[in-house]
Amino acid sequence: MISFGRSLRRRFLLERGTDFLNHGSFGATPRAVLASAQRWRLRMEANPDRFLRHELPGALRAAAGRLARFVHAEERDVVFVENATSGMNAVLRSLELRPGDEILATSHVYNAVRQTILEVCRRTGAKFVEAKILLPVSDGNSLVKVVKEKFSRRTKLLVLDHIASPTGLIFPVKRIAALARKRGAKVLIDGAHAPGQIPLDIPSLGVDWYAGNCHKWLYAPKGCGFLWSRRGAQAGIHPPVISHGYGKGFAAEFDWTGTRDFSAWLSVPDALDFYASLGAARIKSYCHQLAMQKAREMSLAWQAPCDGPPELHGSLIAIRLPERLQRRDPQRLIKEWMARRRIVVPVMPYGGALWARISAQVYNDPRDYDRLLAIVSGSISGNSR
Ligand SMILES: Cc1ncc(COP(=O)(O)O)c(C=O)c1O
């Protein structure tokens, strides 16, 4: 059996000497999957016309089919997009909203998605309604409650994170989506962090649209996201770029939005093979336990809370920084730790406080977190490494 931790790092390109605690933001792609993408590029360049005109359409649908099976969906309901931001844009900017309609999201909404919602509201006269999530969160019921309280008769769309960016909190999507449906609101899920981090059966969630990433927790090369749509909710949803497939159906519209490098999308089957070779259950258990154990140690050492209990997390969790660091500029802190300490970890401002968000991935080892723990505790001062 392949052992996880330091020895697995050789399968990735991560530089030596850096504690990489931020798989969450952009992912890290294994060498084997990058090699697969390169093979697709070489195949394209051998005869661009043959590849792009004749071979690509079938290969793309085959890759979409593999991904669809992974999320328990059907191939024709899954299309590739550049990233989760593109998928969220496609839906948000396709909807026909009117003045007074409400889009409901939580205060955890990813900033790029927030900006998209604000632009849609500006253009249509719809209103952005925000459900405030206070940290630390005690349980899933409290997440359901804060969203429930913000529904109104005018709520037309609920935009919900599956796993939220500032904290890694897993939202009870199925329960909240049922509430939205009862009130006649459509549901768009931002699943940027979910595929590969938690088991996913998208059609069973009872939502209308689900945008996700393969380049974060599924090991695909960057520029690889997807959009799933309920069959009855596909009409009228267009990609951010309109091209030849306009009006010819969901897959036709998204599969070709102009000439591009399709290799990230086409290497998804190899990314899924890499994932399967490590074992979905083993990955989930190793990463969850590692992140939770280290978060608990940091929380105790820093005398500061985690954002919520372990059962609301996968491989991603945030710990409040101690008072001593609360007045620091988060961007400078990130830069300083990266440049001087060679620790990569995001610092997120949320609810008037600063939080360090740690990720755990199969290449991480318990020792990777110890210098961060010590530096923040104040027990290491000068440069190290
Ligand atoms: C919840 C959430 N949505 C969307 C995104 C954007 O992902 P991408 O840059 O791949 O579009 C992120 C990135 O971290 C995220 O955390």
Q: Are 146 and 160 in contact (CB under 8 A)?
A: no
Residues, the chain, total?
385
Residue bearing the CA closest to ligand 1, atom 12: 192
Distance between Cα 85 and ligand 1 center (Å): 6
Q: What is the pLDDT of residue 381?
A: 57
- Atom nearest to 162 CA in ligand 1: 1
**How many C-beta atoms surround the C-beta of residue 78 within 10 A?**
27
Instruction: Identify the pLDDT of residue 2.
Output: 85
Instruction: List ligand 1's pocket residues with C-beta within 6 A.
Output: 25, 83-85, 110, 112-113, 161, 165, 190, 192-193, 213, 225
Q: What is the pLDDT of residue 62?
A: 98
DSSP, res 368:
G
Q: Is the CB of residue 206 less than 8 Å from the CB of residue 174? A: yes
Tell me what pLDDT residue 1 has. Answer: 82
Look at residue 53 and give its three-state secondary structure: helix
Q: What is the pLDDT of residue 359?
A: 98
Please tell me the predicted confidence (pLDDT) of residue 385: 43
* Paired sense of beta strands 78-81 and 225-229, if any: antiparallel
At 382 the pLDDT is: 45
Residue nearest to atom 5 of ligand 1 (CA): 192
372 Cα: distance to centroid of ligand 1 (angstroms): 24
Q: Which two tokens stand for residue 66?
A: 């593999």
In the block, residue with structure tokens 């005018």: 154
Residue by residue, pLDDT tens for the chain (385 residues) are 889 999 999 999 999 999 999 999 999 999 999 999 999 999 999 999 999 999 999 999 999 999 999 999 999 999 999 999 999 999 999 999 999 999 999 999 999 999 999 999 999 999 999 999 999 999 999 999 999 999 999 999 999 999 999 999 999 999 999 999 999 999 999 999 999 999 999 999 999 999 999 999 999 999 999 999 999 999 999 999 999 999 999 999 999 999 999 999 999 999 999 999 999 999 999 999 999 999 999 999 999 999 999 999 999 999 999 999 999 999 999 999 999 999 999 999 999 999 999 999 999 999 999 999 999 998 665 444 4
At 380 the pLDDT is 63
**Contact in structure between 226 and 81 (CB atoms under 8 Å):** yes
Q: pLDDT value at position 39? A: 98
Query: 80 near 254, Cβ under 8 Å?
Result: yes
Dihedral (Cα; 277, 278, 282, 285), 10-degree rounding = -130
26 Cα: distance to centroid of ligand 1 (angstroms):
8
Atom of ligand 1 at shortest distance to CA of 25?
A: 14
**Ligand 1 pocket: which of 133, 159, 190 to mutate (most atoms <8 Å of CB)?**
190
CA of 148 relative to ligand 1 center, distance in Å: 24
Ligand 1 atom 7 nearest Cα: 84
3-state secondary structure of 317: strand
Which residue's CA is the nearest one to ligand 1's atom 1?
A: 165
How far away, in angstroms, is 50 Cα from ligand 1 center?
Answer: 34
For ligand 1, mutation pick of 89, 213, 217 (most atoms within 8 Å of CB): 213
